[in-house]
Amino acid sequence: MLKNLKLFTTGLTLLALVLFITSCKKARTIYLLEGDWEASSFTVDGEELINVEYSSLKIEFEEYGKTEGDFNLTFVDVNGSTIPFSGEYELNDDVSELDLTFNTTNEKVTFDFEVDKDDLKLEGNVGGYFWIIRADRD
């Protein structure tokens, strides 16, 4: 009986430790992601579009709530026209994917992503096209 209790207690302790580490990783990633980003590269199916079709692409990730945050995505084409999008973003539990749900269409797009202090990389399939966005903290 005592042996089973020790195993149960050890199992609970390990579970709590794993949950704590996971929540710390998510909180750190959210902290790094929040803010303004400017794309240095935007490719669709391998073709670079910055300075070809778009003069800039800016991304803003607003403060993350309990389960999601708001984002703004602004394209400026080479003629100076602004093409804005907005919606909500959400991170999956292991913090490897970022879901963007667009307000205008309610379409959800999932990106694999990497973020560190000043660099962001998003990769995903958008409407049948493979996007890669590399951005620097603005």
Quick one: pLDDT band at residue 28, thresholds 50, 70, 90?
confident
pTM for the whole structure = 0.80
* pLDDT for res 94: 83
d(CA 17, CA 24): 11
Dihedral angle over CA of 113, 116, 117, 123, nearest 10: -20
Kindly tell me if the per-residue pLDDT of 17 is higher than 50.
Answer: no
Cα–Cα distance, 49 to 61 (Å, whole number): 22
For residue range 69-91, list pLDDT tens digits in order.
Answer: 999 999 999 999 999 999 999 99
- Output the pLDDT for position 4: 55
Residue 115: Cβ-neighbour burial (10 angstroms; 0-12, 13-18, 19+): buried
Yes or no: domain 2-137 corresponds to CATH 1.10.10.10: no
Q: Which helix (H) or strand (E) holds 40?
A: strand 35-44
Is residue 110's pLDDT more than 60?
Answer: yes
Confidence of residue 31 (pLDDT cuts 50, 70, 90): confident
What is the model's pLDDT at position 11? 44
CA 26 to centroid of chain Cα atoms: 11
CA 54 from centroid of its chain's CA atoms: 21
pLDDT confidence tier of residue 122, bands split at 50, 70 and 90: very high
> Would you place residue 13 in the very low, low, confident or very high pLDDT band (cuts 50, 70, 90)?
very low
Taking the alpha carbons of 48, 45, 70, 105 in that order, is the dihedral positive or negative? positive
Q: For the chain, give every domain's residue range.
A: 2-137
Which tokens sit at 91?
A: 């991170």
